[in-house]
Amino acid sequence: MHHTPPSEHSDLVTSSLPWSPKNNRRVTFNAYGGPEVISVVTEPAVASPGKGMARVRVMASSLVFTDMLIRRNLYPMLKTLPGETLGYDVVGHVEALGPETTGPAPGTLVATLTQVGGAQDWVNLPAASLVPLPGHLDPIKVEPLILSYMTAYQGLFREAGVSAGAHILVIAATGAVGLAALDLARALGLRATGVASSRRKALVEQMGADFIAYDAPDFSRRIDLAAAQQGGFAVILDGASHEPLPAHLRRLARGGHYVGFGLTALLRRAGADAKGLRLIFGRLRLGMKVLRILATRLRNPNVHFYDIAGRRKAHPDWFREDLTTLATLLADGRIAPHISGVFPPERAAEAHRLIEDGSVVGRLVLDLRGSGVLP
């Protein structure tokens, strides 16, 4: 594996010093449920990394809709248990490599997808999973690239193979992935139409996209009209699942692609305070929706359901290459993640409440740059 020289932040790491006791804060949940089940546990130091592993001092991790689903036991792609550490991704500095381990050199800024376990001060991770990044980048700004921007980028370019100049439709356009898609469209020469609530019109248009309000009484007809005016959309990136799949397929240009990824509307109906039969039926509706998309894909290979963890497992080289591309776009100032809040671990429950309220525009980020060292 390529070795990256230590970053300018190498003073943050202690790889050349004996490992000493430290506090390790981690954000966990003590039961399935609402934000009130979240707690911050302070524990002794993370163990030294074993063979093939690297110890990472975490600088930033996720505060996203998926974290909320994991906490409520609603995430269809992963089974978790109370007591596990939240945190779908990690940005941090390598502190040490395990014995006989090749990986990014100590001091290197790295990022990776974890699904769980990222929201803590230190974590041991497979060295091969870490993607080296330019050391001057702000970890807070890097963090949205791992899940939100990766989902948008791979949905558009890996799943749909979109070309410059194409017109895309982004549904849930002011969510984390939606704004990432609009930002990437602006940076990479795509035309975009964003569907969001009427109060987000100015933001969508500031991103250079046309706007359609989903809370207008005739919003479906407006989308149909926009599709007809230009011969259909090259890609529909759908993070909400408000409408039936056939309605979207009619809006595609010849050879166009539909990419579903979030199913936010269905997940919200399945979640919130759902219990018992309501929770069971909510999960069944979600499962049926995914199955319908997958069944349609058997007949139409231009229909996709994007699962970031599954895609990385199948193509780890794509994940590494695409995250490097996104980091380069960030370093060059061509993209600018819309971060509406930065929270320390002690305020993670507050951030989760905002996520559940549906009031977050763009992204929230968990800030772990504060010291976890014992006084």
CATH number at residue 176: 3.40.50.720
- Among candidate residues 311, 330, 354, the one where a domain is terminated: 311
CATH number at residue 98: 3.90.180.10
Clarify whether residues 149 and 119 are in a common domain: no
Which residue would you say has higher pLDDT here, 115 or 262? 115
CA neighbours closer than 13 Å in the CB half-sphere of residue 180: 27
Clarify whether residues 131 and 154 are in a common domain: no
**Mean pLDDT, range 3-23, rounded to an integer:** 38
Band (74; pLDDT cuts 50, 70, 90)? confident
Band (373; pLDDT cuts 50, 70, 90)? very low
Would you say residue 181 lies in a domain? yes
**pLDDT by residue (tens digit) across 214-226?**
999 999 999 999 9
**pLDDT by residue (tens digit) across 221-257?**
999 999 999 999 999 999 887 888 899 999 999 999 9
**pLDDT by residue (tens digit) across 123-162?**
999 999 999 999 999 999 999 999 999 999 999 999 999 9
- DSSP H or E stretch at residue 314: helix 308-314
Which residue would you say has higher pLDDT here, 249 or 270? 249
Given this model, what pLDDT does residue 287 score?
Answer: 63
Sorted by sequence, the CB contacts under 8 Å of residue 231 that are 6+ apart come out as 253, 254
How many domains does the chain contain in total?
2
**Mean pLDDT, range 337-362, rounded to an integer:** 94
Given this model, what pLDDT does residue 265 score?
Answer: 47
**Mean pLDDT, range 345-369, rounded to an integer:** 94
Clarify whether residues 362 and 303 are in a common domain: no
Clarify whether residues 62 and 194 are in a common domain: no
* Cβ–Cβ under 8 Å, residues 148 and 360: no
Would you say residue 175 lies in a domain? yes
**pLDDT by residue (tens digit) across 49-73?**
999 999 999 999 999 989 988 998 8
**Mean pLDDT, range 183-192, rounded to an integer:** 98
Clarify whether residues 230 and 189 are in a common domain: yes
Statement: residue 328 has pLDDT above 70: yes
Clarify whether residues 62 and 171 are in a common domain: no
Would you say residue 349 lies in a domain? yes
Clarify whether residues 182 and 90 are in a common domain: no
Indicate the pTM of the whole model.
0.88
- Among candidate residues 266, 291, 311, the one where a domain is terminated: 311
How many Cβ atoms are within 10 Å of 350's Cβ, its own excluded? 14
Domain that holds residue 295: 145-311
Statement: residue 78 has pLDDT above 60: yes
Given this model, what pLDDT does residue 3 score?
Answer: 35
Clarify whether residues 209 and 350 are in a common domain: no
Would you say residue 3 lies in a domain? no
Given this model, what pLDDT does residue 267 score?
Answer: 54
Given this model, what pLDDT does residue 10 score?
Answer: 29
**pLDDT by residue (tens digit) across 294-317?**
677 677 889 998 989 999 999 999
Clarify whether residues 292 and 169 are in a common domain: yes
Clarify whether residues 170 and 278 are in a common domain: yes
Clarify whether residues 295 and 178 are in a common domain: yes
Would you say residue 375 lies in a domain? no
Statement: residue 180 has pLDDT above 70: yes
The three-state DSSP-derived secondary structure of 73-133 is: CCCCCCCCCCCCECCCEEEEEEEEECCCCCCCCCCCEEEEECCCCCCECEEEEEHHHCEEE
**pLDDT by residue (tens digit) across 14-32?**
333 334 446 899 999 999 9
Query: In sequence order, what E strands does 160-318 have?
Result: 167-171, 191-196, 210-213, 233-238, 252-260, 303-305
Would you say residue 321 lies in a domain? no
Which residue would you say has higher pLDDT here, 360 or 19? 360
Would you say residue 326 lies in a domain? no
- Among candidate residues 273, 296, 311, the one where a domain is terminated: 311
Would you say residue 116 lies in a domain? yes
Given this model, what pLDDT does residue 294 score?
Answer: 67
Clarify whether residues 205 and 284 are in a common domain: yes
Given this model, what pLDDT does residue 13 score?
Answer: 32
Most confident of 190-194, 265-269, 271-275: 190-194
